[in-house]
Amino acid sequence: MPTSPITEAVPLSLCAREPHVPADRLVAEMVPPPRFDSVRFETYVPDPNQPSQTEAVKVLGDFAAGLGTAHPAGGGKRRWFARKAAAAPAGPRGVYLDGGYGVGKTHLLASLWHATPADPSLKAFGTFVELTNLVGALGFQQTVRTLSGHRLLCIDEFELDDPGDTVLVSTLLGRLVDAGVALAATSNTLPGKLGEGRFAAADFLREIQGLSAHFRPLRIDGEDYRHRGLPEAPPPYSDEQVTKAAYATKDASLDDFPNLLEHLAKVHPSRYGAMTDGLRAVCLTDVRPVPDQSTALRLVVLADRLYDREVPVLASGLPFDKLFSDEMLNGGYRKKYFRAISRLTALARDAKALVAQ
């Protein structure tokens, strides 16, 4: 009996995608990303050698429980009836998670979002970059009106390297605090700065000057869990291996890395998430050092979106820790670059199975 020929999948291409994302989708998608959709405080595994991790779970659990009271400022017409409810607990209405890469801050921030007793439409979760993109899409005043009725706003990866954006978001947070919105944020301490007490927390609180009284800094010590007991990231594969895997994997994309970097300049970073919709793997050939800072910052955003969506990245060329020059890694955006290296390394490790199939 004749057998049917094996049909290979035709890879998709990120370079062929220029999605349009309406502003209302930006608001609706302000929830924990797929990678953190099912996380809870109970699924966080503290390092037994780092008591601050266990303490963080307890503090955040209590903070979430405290948000079950009435919206302090009334919260607009949706909570007008609750004005005589019990007063909100005294003390800071915000927490800032201060720690290095991979200690589980995003896991804890998403767990806080899930644990807060409020309808999902009254809670918002997004990265600092996504929040600035929202302001760009809606305008400042409309963003204030949209978020003022929320019970909680979680901001992951609060950035301190762009003074303009930091002042913009700080002003926005001041308006939201006045409206009674509780805040939670994370940022990163560089690996070389660990052990210097509240270095990152001091930076954060200085940048948001008037809001410092609303935040309780919460230090989370530990090493990057992505390297805790795990093998080193696999070395890059050959062009032939990457191409073969792309054709053998359903809903995989295949792009030449330099071409992808050029394409990213044509798509606003707020649309990078939509650009990855439906992808099960990203395959890249000819990975090489990123040529300039603007390109590097766009790549950081794409790496974040791929990591959020747990999309494996299979690549040929140079390993991901060679993407950024020493000058970049020692410059003002170094935190973003170290984060991108850490996340792309984790996704490269996830991609090993694509070659084995």
pLDDT tens string 307-349:
989 999 999 999 999 999 999 998 878 888 888 998 899 999 9
pLDDT at position 98 is 84
pLDDT at position 331 is 86
Distances (CA, A) of 164 to 139, 167, 301, 357: 15, 5, 18, 47
Name residues whose C-beta falls within 8 Å of residue 194's C-beta, 6 or more positions apart in sequence. 100, 221
Detail the DSSP E strand segments found in the chain: 94-99, 123-127, 152-156, 182-188, 215-220, 252-256, 281-287, 313-317
pLDDT at position 282 is 98
- How far is residue 31's CA from residue 36's CA, in Å, rounded to a whole number? 9
pLDDT at position 80 is 28
**Rounded to the nearest 10 degrees, how much is the dihedral formed by the CA atoms of 325, 104, 199, 151?**
120
pLDDT at position 166 is 76
Instruction: Give the residue ranges of the chain where pLDDT is below 50.
Output: 1-7, 74-89, 190-199, 229-231
According to DSSP, the residues that pair with 238 across neighbouring strands are none
Tokens of 50: 């780092």
pLDDT at position 292 is 96
pLDDT tens string 212-246:
667 788 888 877 665 554 445 678 999 999 999 99
pLDDT at position 25 is 80
Residue 186 three-state SS: strand
- How far is residue 183's CA from residue 92's CA, in Å, rounded to a whole number? 9
pTM reported for the whole predicted model: 0.76
pLDDT at position 5 is 43
